[in-house]
Every structure is written in C-alpha cells, then in structure tokens.
Amino acid sequence: MTDPLVQLVGLTKSYGAMTAVAGIDLVIGKGEFVVLLGPSGSGKTTVLSMIGGFVEPTGGSVRIGGEDVTSLPPAKRPTATVFQDYALFPHMSVRANVGFGLYMRKVAKAERNRRADETLKLVGLDGFGDRGIHQLSGGQRQRVALARAIAVNPAVLLLDEPLGALDLALRRQMQEELVRIQKRLGTTFVHVTHDQEEAMSIADTIVVMNRGLVEDMGVPARIYRRPASLFAATFMGENNLLPGRVAAVSGDALTVETPLGRLLLAGKADLGGAVQVAVRPEQIYPAATAPENAASLGSARVCELVFQGTHWRARAKTGADGEIALLLRLPPEMQPAVGAEVALFARPEDIVVLSR
C-alpha cells in the first residue's frame, strides 16, 4: 500500500441496542480506489458517513492524513461526498451547483466559475454550465454531483452508491469513467456498493462488509480466488460450498474428506474439524478440458442445462445419494445432456478451505 491516508480504529456505531458498525479497523492508502461492498444493512453507509462526519461514532476514531478528525464537522474535513440521490440544488445552474463548495469556501466568483467549468470538462459535461438541473438526464445529474464534489479538491472523495439509479449500460460506462477520473486526479476514493460486479470493475481494494464487520479486504482477484470467509466466498460471485472434515494436517497442507472425495488442499484448520470447501463453477472441469494437475472430484449427474454463449450453465447432483448439488460451467463446445454422468476435475489450488 501507499502511505496510509484514512485510518479507522475500532470504529463503532450503535443506535440503542442496534449495532450498525461493530468495531472496524481499516487503513486506506493515499490514491487508492477503495470499495466498501456488502448487502443492504451491512453498515456501508454508516462507515462512509462517519468518515465524512455526518454520523458521530459511538466508539473508536477516524484519522485522515494523520489528524484525528473524529469530532470535526464535515466542512472541516478534507472530504467531499457524492450522495446516492445527488442532492443537487434544483434552482441553481449547473455551474453554480458545481461551484457551490468553492462558494462556501469563499473562493471569488471568477475563479469559482473557472474551476467549475474545468471540472465539468473532466466529467464529460463541457459547455453544460448554464443549463438548469431540470434540463439534465439522470446520468448527467450524476456527473454534476460528482463534479461538485471533485471541485473542492478533497483528499478523500466519498461515494455512496452513486450509480444506483442509472441503467445498466450507463452504469458500466460511468464505472469506467470513475476509474479514469480517479487515476487522473490521484484522489483517494471510497465508494460504496452492494454490486459485486461493480466492485470488481472499479476497485483497487475491496472491503467486504457483513453485519457491521469487515469480512475480507484485499485486491479483487485475491478476494475472488482466495476469499477469507464463507460470507466473502458466496457474496463475491457464485460458488459451490461443500461440507468437509479435516482428516490430516501437515504444515499448511490439509487432507479433507468431502462428498467429492478425499482432497489434498492448502489451508489451515484443526485436525478433525468441520470445514467448508469452496470451488467456483468455472473452476470445475470435465475430463476434456481438465488441466494437467487437476484432481478428480468423481462424477455428477447433469439435471439442468442452459446455454449462455460463453458456457453451459449446468446444475448437477453428486454424492452417495445424489444429495450434493453442484453449479457448473461446462465448455460451450461440449454437448452435455440432461441425465448424463460427467466426470469432474478441479485444480487443488482453486479449492478453498474455509472454517468461518
């Protein structure tokens, strides 16, 4: 990581008996694009609001750039926020909206307008300064909200599900633009979403949240491939979870008894302990495409098939009584049939042993 910029220490927020954020320790590096990812109610907005100063923690602290800002109001923090509902001023022009933060900071009008126009250019709204907010589409309003936050040149830009109201195509486009803008400015972005695809598309670092706690944190590829918890394994994309029991431990290698056979896997767990074994649908191969070092997972009976262009999405049953359900992605050139028995393989390094 680069130099730490934002440090959350034991950050907690309770509303009476209800704990929204349950003691979070988090370090965000300077210039990082961090995404807080989690289901609705997991505490994402509350964390963001405590960084921005809109919600007062009931415990712990927020430091930005080495300074404890826990008791500072939003305007005294080096942060700016893009809210989910944009919160633009409908009676003001686009330029006045974008220049609003500069106005509050007593920047003179000419300079304010110059910076507003420059920022509008950056977000792809060159020449829109004189328009009224009501003359803009949803996507354009979103850009104005972004420009307004960027214009004050914050050290940390906080974005709370900013793309939530946009249709899918526009959301994808804005995801790319957010990354482009973030890299160009070098500003630290903390972005909240419940959409794992969005998180993977834009984040340098993903923080997976659940029930007010951090479940996992790291680069998207690591979280996807080697999730640290059961929650992270299932929230980030589709996964097959199978019950297992640790039959032998040797250093960092485990022998795990599973319904798909005895597997030699990397991981740490107690001898005799119950674990879950996670393997992604696309990392289970039929014999024809199995990598050289793949281990056998026995065979499964196909019970549902949907052709999806890049692959067949298949549901299959395995285990002694066919009680184990598997989700598979079979190669598009394969001609699988419902009812057929398919031999399955997976590389041990693609299989994750989870005990929490």
Measured from the CB atom, is 19 or 234 closer to ligand ADP? 19
Q: Please say which residue, 13 or 143, places its beta carbon nearer to ligand ADP.
A: 13
CA torsion sign, 217 to 222 to 224 to 228? negative
217 binds, among Mg ion, ligand ADP, none (CB under 5 to 8 A by kind): none
Query: In angstroms, rounded to a whole number, what is the distance separating the alpha carbons of residues 13 and 164?
Result: 25
Instruction: With contacts defined by CB under 6 A, name the span among 4-12, 42-50, 107-115, 253-261 that binds ligand ADP.
Output: 42-50
Q: In whole angstroms, how far apart are CA 215 and each of 49, 231, 247?
A: 20, 7, 27
The contact mask relative to ligand ADP for 8-27 (x = CB under 6 A, - = no) is: -------x--x-x-------
Q: Does 42 bind ligand ADP (CB under 6 A)?
A: yes
Establish if 45 lies at the interface with Mg ion (CB under 5 A). Answer: yes
Measure the CA–CA gap between 310 and 41, rounded to whole angstroms: 34
Query: How are strands ordered across the β-sheet holding 79-82?
Result: 79-82, 156-160, 188-193, 33-37, 205-210, 213-218
Binders of ligand ADP among 225-264, rule CB under 6 A?
none
Give the number of other CB atoms < 10 A from CB of residue 51: 24
Residue of the chain from 44, 95, 112, 171 that contacts ligand ADP (CB under 6 A): 44
C-alpha closest to that of 191 among 159, 163, 166: 159
Q: Could you say which of 5, 6, 33, 38 contacts ligand ADP (CB under 6 A)?
A: 38
Closest distance to ligand ADP from the beta carbon of 193 (Å)? 10
Q: Of these partners, Mg ion, ligand ADP, none, which one is at the site of residue 298 (CB under 5 to 8 Å by kind)?
A: none
First CA to last CA distance, the chain: 26
Q: Binding residues for ligand ADP, per CB under 6 A?
A: 15, 18, 20, 38, 40-46
